[in-house]
Chain A
């Protein structure tokens, strides 16, 4: 099956520092990856769509300068939370969609990483 690995699973950082979260597709190529944020006891909200080799597309209300996304290869996307503050503390989850055309499970389903719990102190 398709596996997406997200690292780190937990991180605690000081206010004002930057944190990088990695999302890797281990056994498939992913042209498109998605970054979600989940506040406690709430649902997942899409932050941005990351496309390999091009700029990410951010959802309304998400600060692109604060949440830097890089998708430099077909198997890796990174989310960097810059100048983190306590209000950025949250659960961040990535997902990846397999590259390719046509129908089939690999093209309708996005595979999720295990998430990163960020705590800014």
Chain B
């Protein structure tokens, strides 16, 4: 079956620090990969996505590259802000197997201090 393993948190950084949150996956088909962000008390927001190998998803300064050879989709940001404090979920969805069903990592809580 599909699974997502995400870097354990919590992660605490100072403003303007570099962020990496690791994510690796296992999948039986051809997954699309996603990063979602959840702010306190709110639902999920799609942060970025990549649908095939070597694709790079990017949004709001965040980036992640779909690496099929290492089955990874690590999230990076060069300079974090206090407003980036949230929980980040790595997820996959497989078009050919249970298309649309999402498998999530455990989430990583990021706290950015001024």
Chain A contact residues, CB within 8 Å of chain B: 6, 32, 34, 36, 41-44, 46, 49, 93, 95-97, 103, 105, 107-110, 112-115, 117
A110 touches B51 (CB 8 A): no
Known: A43-B104, A43-B107, A44-B104. A107 touches B95 (CB 8 A): yes
Chain B 68-104 near chain A by CB (<8 Å), digits 1 or 0: 0000000000000000000001000101001111111
**CB–CB A43/B42 < 8 A:** no
Chain A contacts of B93 at CB under 8 A?
108-110
Q: Contacts A43-B104, A43-B107, A95-B102 hold; do A103 and B95 have CB atoms under 8 A apart?
A: yes
- Picked from B36, B42, B51, the residue with its CB within 8 Å of the CB of A114 is B42
Interface residues of B (CB under 8 A from A): 32, 34, 36, 41-44, 46, 49, 51, 89, 93, 95, 98-107, 109
Whether A46 pairs with B101 at a CB distance below 8 angstroms is yes
- How far is A8 from B99 in the complex, measured between Cα atoms in Å? 27
With both chains docked as a complex, state the minimum distance between the C-beta of A63 and any C-beta of chain B, in angstroms: 20
**Bound-state Cα–Cα, A48 to B90, Å:** 20
| B105: A residues at CB distance < 8 A | 43
Pick the residue among B43, B102, B106, B107 that contacts A110 (CB under 8 A).
B102
Q: Which of B46, B99, B109 sits near A97, CB closer than 8 Å? A: B99
Measured between alpha carbons, how far is A44 from B36 in the docked complex, in Å?
Answer: 11
Asked whether, in the complex, the Cβ of B43 is within 8 Å of the Cβ of A109, the reply is no
Interface centre among A34, A95, A108 (most CB of B within 10 A): A108
Query: Contacts A43-B107, A108-B95, A109-B32 known; A97 to B100 CB distance under 8 Å?
Result: yes
Across the interface, do B104 and A114 meet the contact criterion of CB distance under 8 Å? no
Q: Are B46 and A112 in contact (CB under 8 A)?
A: yes
Residues of chain B within 8 A (CB-CB) of A44 are: 44, 89, 102, 104
Beyond contacts A34-B100, A46-B103: 9 other A-B pairs, Cβ-Cβ < 8 A, are A34-B101, A34-B102, A43-B89, A93-B44, A109-B49, A110-B101, A112-B44, A114-B43, A115-B43
Nearest-Cβ distance from residue A20 to partner chain B, whole angstroms: 18
A108-B107 contact in complex given A34-B101, A95-B100, A113-B43, C-beta closer than 8 Å: no
Contact of B106 among A42, A93, A108 (CB under 8 A): A42
